[in-house]
């Protein structure tokens, strides 16, 4: 049974959903890891990216590439709306505003009034056909024991490819003088200002860039599931993305990738193990089939706590950096 | 208590030691600047001119409004009323980063070393007009690598001058308090300012380092012909290196003049010691380098 559980876990860890979450975490890394912006509404950018694709294709019959562009443009607008009033204020204002804005977006998409456009609580379907039509991989089952379908393999390649592209982009940005200003804002924005840097402008660039990456994650998420529903975009998605980022190591290029792999490996492995043990009647009813989700989350929370106690810098974080007094 | 500097021709010779007196070549001119916090008037300066090319000491008891005046002048705070001109150009309402780019750079009373960046990165950040600081050019190292080398060379020179070269690649967060003061001053110089505003540069610095810091401040005037304004509580330091001293109390300028005259000024003595007369501040050995806002 061990190998079966292992393959279940591995299949999810390298799957398209994990890639979408890795993109969310890459965007958060830009916001939180490098710039010090506390964005608690990354799921809002994800929703905009996902619905940008779904609405453009399913509601208005547009092409898929246009949908992706609409999602990205929507993320830029959302970042500007959030940033203009809050980025001049203290960090916590952005946190409150973003978490509220993400919830507002979810309620707008699920309200019955917007049903003709967003599909309301039922969401939208059948918008990803254009993506799968481009699939160059011949039909079949791939990667041996993981038995991954050609469609899933295609979304995995595109999803993780996008993760690689944006990781490379952030790496190139952060080693440049532009990245130096971004990090100086995280350390002390008044110091950056006193040296002639337009702090507001750089924070806005960071918010837009990280938001766009989150929206691309949303598009990957929507296309891989081939459906969008408002209630998949709950606030906890943002906190999963934060968990991924912290698990892998904030302000490192590899952190979001490793974090997403480990996070989804543990979640899927745990769920598979509990479900299989429960089906075999080897688990007390307390952990039984109804409680698998809750038990898994409890376990992941415990794991994160232990990580914070024994390895606060994450898997790949810089320990020396962590120990410095930031103030 | 005379300074070794303004040698042959003292530009302020013959200027009357009165609050708000006009000076031959002011770099900064302040008019009617007022700032209140609730019912308290923190700053209320009718007129003040800062002479170019000299060291001006800004003194005053705790709560006199010295740091608030710094914040207002450098765009970190906005006054209720008033205007001020830097090099003849109005500076009211100009945001902090543009004030710095125009050539007026300040340091902070509580040092702002960027802890999780290296000493060298702190320095490099100070350079202005970097092409690599723009979003798209930053992605092409070929465009900014040469400029980066020039900036690094300039930073290395400054670090050597401030005796921080051995800490070059360490995180700034590992520096001692005095070293952070040195770094902050060196970093401000990377901006190439005409006017350097130092907010309590000696606070929390050990006596051995104080002498070298004083040397650096004098060097700004003598070797680089920059203008310096600094806030300080230690009267020995103030009288040692200032060419001109401005005294504030309760937000207003109550006296100014050459250091030799300010110690005897009745208004200054009263501000420091209350209405009953005691010793002049010049003769009090050390005022504890406390903090004020």
Average pLDDT over residues A238-266: 95
Residue A320 has a pLDDT of 75
Judgement on whether residues B97 and B136 belong to the same structural domain of the protein: no
Whether A88 maps to a domain, the answer reads yes
* Tens of pLDDT, residues A126-180: 999 999 999 999 999 999 899 999 999 999 999 999 999 999 999 999 999 999 9
Q: Is residue B274 pLDDT above 90, yes or no?
A: no
Q: Is residue A325 part of a domain?
A: no
CA distance A300 to A271: 11
Q: Which residue of A has its CA nearest to B142?
A: A176
Looking at the fold, whether B8 and B84 belong to one and the same domain comes out as: yes
Q: Does A138 reside within a domain?
A: no
What is the mean predicted confidence (pLDDT) over B218-246? 91
pLDDT digits (tens, 9 = 90+) for B207-230: 888 888 899 999 999 998 999 999
Is the same domain home to B284 and B199?
A: yes
Number of folded domains that form chain A: 1
Residues in Cβ contact with A297 at an 8 Å cutoff, skipping those fewer than 6 apart: none
Domain-located, residue A142: no
Q: What is the mean pLDDT of residues B8-34?
A: 87
Same domain, B101 and B212: yes
Per-residue pLDDT at B286: 43
Query: Do B207 and B94 reside in the same domain of the chain?
Result: yes
Q: Is there a single domain that holds both residue B135 and residue B268? A: no
Averaged pLDDT of chain B: 88
- Min Cα distance A161 → chain B (Å) is 19
Q: Do B210 and B98 sit in the same domain of this protein?
A: yes
Q: Could you tell me what percent of chain B has a pLDDT over 70?
A: 90
**In-domain check, residue A308:** yes
Query: B53 to each of B101, B216, B227, B242, how far by Cα in Å?
Result: 19, 15, 4, 12
Q: What is the ipTM metric for this complex?
A: 0.90
Residue A319 C-alpha, separation from nearest chain B C-alpha, in angstroms: 11
Same domain, B100 and B200: yes
CATH assignment at residue A188? 1.10.3470
Domain that holds residue B94: 1-106+194-293
Asked whether residue A265 is domain-assigned, the answer is yes
- Choosing from B129, B144, B174, the residue where a domain stops is B174
Instruction: Output the pLDDT for position B193.
Output: 96
B102 shares a domain with B145: no
pLDDT at B264: 84
pLDDT of residue B279: 47
Domain count, chain B: 2
The answer to whether A311 faces chain B, any CB pair under 8 Å, is no
Tell whether B30 is covered by a domain: yes
Q: Is residue B179 part of a domain?
A: no
Token representation of residue B102: 């125009």
**Domain co-membership, B98 together with B228:** yes
At residue B237, the pLDDT reads 87
Question: Is residue A327 in some structural domain?
Answer: no
B47: domain CATH number is: 3.40.50.300
**Concatenated DSSP letters of chain B:** ---S-S-S--TTTT----TT---SSEEEEEEEEEEEETTEEEEEEEEEEEETTSEEEEE-STTSSHHHHHHHHTTSS--SEEEEEETTEE-TT--HHHHHHHTEEE--SS----TTSBHHHHHHHH--S-GGGSTTGGG-HHHHHHHHHHHHHHHHHHHHHTT-GGGTTSBGGGS-HHHHHHHHHHHHHHT--SEEEEESTTTT--HHHHHHHHHHHHHHHHTT--EEEEE-S-HHHHHHH-SEEEEEETTEEEEEE-HHHHTT-HHHHHHHH-SS----GGGSS--------
CA dihedral (B12, B14, B15, B17) in degrees, to 10, reads 110
Over range A259-278, report the average pLDDT: 92
Nearest to A178 among B95, B133, B174 (CB): B133
pLDDT-derived band of residue B12, with 50, 70 and 90 as boundaries?
confident
Residue B234 has pLDDT above 90, yes or no: no
- Find the chain B residues whose C-beta atoms sit closer than 8 A to any C-beta of A: 74, 76, 95-98, 100-101, 105-108, 112-117, 121, 124-126, 128, 130-135, 138-139, 141, 144, 148, 171, 173-174, 187-188, 190-191
Tell me if B53 is assigned to some domain: yes
Residue A31 makes CB contacts below 8 A (sequence gap 6+) with: A37, A38, A39, A42, A206, A207, A210
Nearest by CB to A188, which of B112, B171, B191? B112
Whether the CB of A172 is below 8 Å from some CB of chain B: the reply is: yes
Residues B131 and B96 in one domain: no
List the domain range (segments joined by +) for residue A83.
Answer: 2-128+148-319
Per-residue confidence (pLDDT) for residue A99, from 0 to 100: 95
The pLDDT value recorded for residue B265 is: 86
A117 within some domain:
yes
Q: Where is pLDDT greater, at A317 or B76?
A: B76
Summarised one tens digit per residue, pLDDT across range B141-190 is 999 999 999 999 999 999 999 999 999 999 999 998 889 999 999 999 99
Most distant CA pair in chain B, distance: 68
Pair B137, B2 in one domain? no
Residue B7: what pLDDT?
47
> Cα(first)–Cα(last) distance of chain B, in Å?
28
Average pLDDT over residues B112-121: 94
For the stretch A29-66, pLDDT in tens is 999 999 999 999 999 999 999 999 999 999 999 999 99
What contacts A213, CB < 8 A, 6 or more positions away? Answer: A23, A24, A26, A27, A30, A166
pLDDT, position B275:
59
For residues B283 and A119, give the distance between their C-alpha atoms in angstroms, rounded to a whole number. 82
Residue B18 inside a domain? The answer is yes
Intra-chain end-to-end CA distance of chain A, in Å: 51
**Predicted local confidence at residue A123, as pLDDT:** 95
* 3-class state of residue A58 by DSSP: helix
Among the partner-chain residues A178, A187, A196, the one whose CB lies closest to the CB of B135 is: A178
Out of B74, B97, B116, whose CB is closest to A198?
B97
């Amino acid at each position: 049974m061990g190998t079966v559980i292992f393959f279940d876990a591995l299949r999810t860890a390298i799957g398209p959903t994990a890639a979408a979450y890795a993109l969310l975490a890459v965007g958060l890394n830009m916001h939180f890891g490098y710039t010090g912006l506390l964005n608690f509404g990354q799921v809002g950018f994800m929703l905009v990216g996902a619905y940008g694709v779904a609405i453009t294709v399913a509601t208005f019959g547009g092409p898929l590439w246009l949908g992706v562009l609409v999602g990205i443009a929507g993320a830029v607008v959302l970042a500007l709306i959030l940033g203009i009033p809050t980025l001049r204020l203290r960090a916590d204002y952005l946190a409150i505003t973003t978490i509220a804005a993400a919830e507002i977006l979810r309620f707008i998409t699920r309200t019955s009034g917007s049903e003709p456009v967003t599909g309301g609580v039922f969401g939208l379907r059948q918008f990803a056909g254009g993506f799968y039509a481009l699939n160059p991989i011949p039909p079949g089952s791939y990667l041996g024991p993981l038995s991954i379908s050609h469609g899933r393999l295609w979304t995995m390649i595109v999803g993780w490819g996008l993760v690689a592209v944006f990781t490379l982009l952030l790496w190139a940005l952060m080693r440049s003088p532009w990245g130096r200003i971004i990090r100086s804002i995280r350390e002390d924005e008044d110091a950056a200002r006193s040296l002639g840097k337009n702090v507001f402008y750089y924070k806005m660039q960071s918010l837009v860039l990280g938001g766009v990456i989150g929206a691309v994650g949303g598009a990957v998420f929507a296309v891989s599931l081939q459906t969008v529903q408002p209630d998949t975009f709950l606030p906890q998605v943002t906190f999963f993305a934060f968990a991924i980022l912290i698990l892998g190591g904030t302000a490192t290029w590899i952190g979001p990738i490793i974090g997403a792999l480990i996070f989804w490996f543990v979640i899927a492995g745990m769920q598979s193990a509990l479900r299989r043990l429960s089906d075999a009647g080897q688990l007390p009813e307390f952990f039984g089939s109804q409680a698998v989700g809750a038990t898994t989350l409890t376990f992941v929370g415990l794991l994160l706590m232990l990580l914070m106690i024994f390895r606060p810098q994450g898997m790949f974080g810089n320990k020396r950096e962590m120990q410095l007094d930031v103030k | 208590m005379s300074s070794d500097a303004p040698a042959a021709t003292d530009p302020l010779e013959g200027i009357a030691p009165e609050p708000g007196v006009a000076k031959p070549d002011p770099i900064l001119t302040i008019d009617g600047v007022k700032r209140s916090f609730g019912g308290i008037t923190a700053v209320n300066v009718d007129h003040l001119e800062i002479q170019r090319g000299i060291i001006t000491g800004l003194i005053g008891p705790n709560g006199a409004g010295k740091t608030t005046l710094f914040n207002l002048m450098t765009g970190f705070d906005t006054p209720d009323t008033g205007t001020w001109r830097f090099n003849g150009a109005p500076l009211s309402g100009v945001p902090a980063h543009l004030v710095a780019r125009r050539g007026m750079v300040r340091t902070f009373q509580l040092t702002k070393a960027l802890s999780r960046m290296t000493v060298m990165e702190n320095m490099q950040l100070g350079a202005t007009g970097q092409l690599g600081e723009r979003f798209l050019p930053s992605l092409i190292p070929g465009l900014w690598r040469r400029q980066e080398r020039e900036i690094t060379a300039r930073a290395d020179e400054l670090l050597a001058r401030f005796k921080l070269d051995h800490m070059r690649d360490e995180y700034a967060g590992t520096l001692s308090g005095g070293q952070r003061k040195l770094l902050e001053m060196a970093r401000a110089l990377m901006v190439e300012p005409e006017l350097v505003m130092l907010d309590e540069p000696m606070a929390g610095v050990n006596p051995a380092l104080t002498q070298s810091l004083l040397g650096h401040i004098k060097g700004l005037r003598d070797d680089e012909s920059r203008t310096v304004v600094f806030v300080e509580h230690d009267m020995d330091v103030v009288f040692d290196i200032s060419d001109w001293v401005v005294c504030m109390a309760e937000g207003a300028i109550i006296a100014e003049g050459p250091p030799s005259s300010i110690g005897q000024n009745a208004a200054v003595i009263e501000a420091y010691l209350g209405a009953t007369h005691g010793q002049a501040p010049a003769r009090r050995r050390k005022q504890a380098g406390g903090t004020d806002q």
